[in-house]
């Protein structure tokens, strides 16, 4: 079995749940084992780095059906529950799932700062994933939206709305106070597939690379409040196929 491939965009439609005790992953609307979909030896990435639900990576060691597979270990996962989460599948280097540098279990705690306080512009009922707000100024993807008992990562931003990766479980009345917070400290590391286009796009930025291929990226906030980026070329290679979210360089 190869230690890595060149595809960072293996088919991954549907959602998944994980039983930490049995290492069994159960999918809904998934196509495990089908052509172009998750296969034994691929890496499954639970959650999304874009909307703040990322739990970590694990190697697939068996596929029982289109809706059930098993993983080798949970050592690369944060320990957070995986239930109905979106996922990606990648052929990134398998050894990184056991490397403490990239394990979500060992990431340092992030500090949180207040970005802005706004309000709900019109009542948002249970079951919606879109909330109208008085202002979206200053909000970016991944920020945390909190109002009453609702706390969600911001997955997309409209002119007057924010949306989440899942629906809200309680109604938010018009005029309810909304706080937007952001992770501003700690260390975050992950592995990306960087195609030639990604290398070009990253030129002259903090994510600048000298090679396409598989790259490990660690970001942290220094003592002056500036974001720092460390890159480690894991495998320099051409022909990387990308398409998972986010693409390299991260926004």
pLDDT of residue 29: 96
Cβ distance 170 to 103 under 8 Å?
no
pLDDT of residue 1: 60
Q: Where are the domains of the chain?
A: 1-106, 112-183, 185-237
In 37-195, where do the E strands start and end? 43-46, 56-65, 68-71, 87-90, 112-119, 130-132, 144-147, 150-153, 156-157, 161-163, 177-183, 187-194
Which backbone phi and psi does 198 adopt, to 5 degrees? Answer: -65, -40
How many Cβ atoms are within 10 Å of 203's Cβ, its own excluded? Answer: 11
pLDDT of residue 48: 87
d(CA 30, CA 15): 7
d(CA 121, CA 123): 7
Question: CA torsion, points 78, 82, 88, 90, in degrees to nearest 10?
Answer: 50
pLDDT of residue 2: 80
pLDDT of residue 31: 96
Longest alpha-carbon distance in the chain? 57
Mean pLDDT by 10 residues, the chain (251 residues): 88 94 97 95 92 91 98 95 95 95 78 87 96 94 91 92 93 97 76 93 91 91 73 92 84 66
Question: pTM higher than 0.85, yes or no?
Answer: no
CA distances to 94, 194, 242 from 249, rounded to whole Å, are 21, 8, 11
d(CA 59, CA 70): 9
């Amino acid at each position: 079995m190869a230690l890595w491939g060149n595809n960072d965009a293996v088919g991954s439609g549907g959602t998944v749940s994980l039983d930490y005790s049995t290492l069994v992953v159960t999918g809904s609307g998934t196509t495990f084992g089908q052509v172009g979909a998750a296969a034994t030896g691929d890496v499954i990435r639970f959650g999304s780095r874009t909307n703040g639900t990322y739990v970590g990576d694990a190697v697939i060691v068996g596929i029982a059906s289109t809706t059930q597979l098993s993983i080798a270990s949970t050592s690369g996962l944060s320990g957070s529950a995986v239930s109905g989460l979106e996922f990606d599948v990648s052929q990134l280097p398998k050894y990184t799932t056991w490397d403490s540098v990239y394990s979500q279990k060992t990431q340092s705690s992030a500090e949180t700062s207040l970005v802005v306080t706004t309000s709900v512009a019109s009542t948002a009922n249970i079951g919606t994933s879109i909330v109208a707000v008085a202002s979206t100024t200053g909000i970016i993807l991944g920020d945390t939206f909190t109002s009453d008992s609702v706390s969600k990562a911001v997955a997309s931003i409209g002119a007057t709305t924010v949306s989440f990766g899942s629906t809200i479980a309680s109604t938010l009345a018009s005029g309810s106070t909304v706080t937007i917070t952001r992770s501003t400290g700690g260390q975050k590391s992950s592995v990306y597939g960087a195609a030639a286009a990604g290398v070009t796009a990253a030129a002259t930025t903090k994510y600048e690379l000298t090679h396409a291929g598989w790259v490990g990226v660690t970001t942290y906030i220094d003592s002056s409040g500036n974001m720092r980026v460390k890159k480690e070329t894991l495998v320099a290679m051409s022909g990387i196929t990308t398409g998972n979210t986010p693409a390299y360089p991260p926004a």
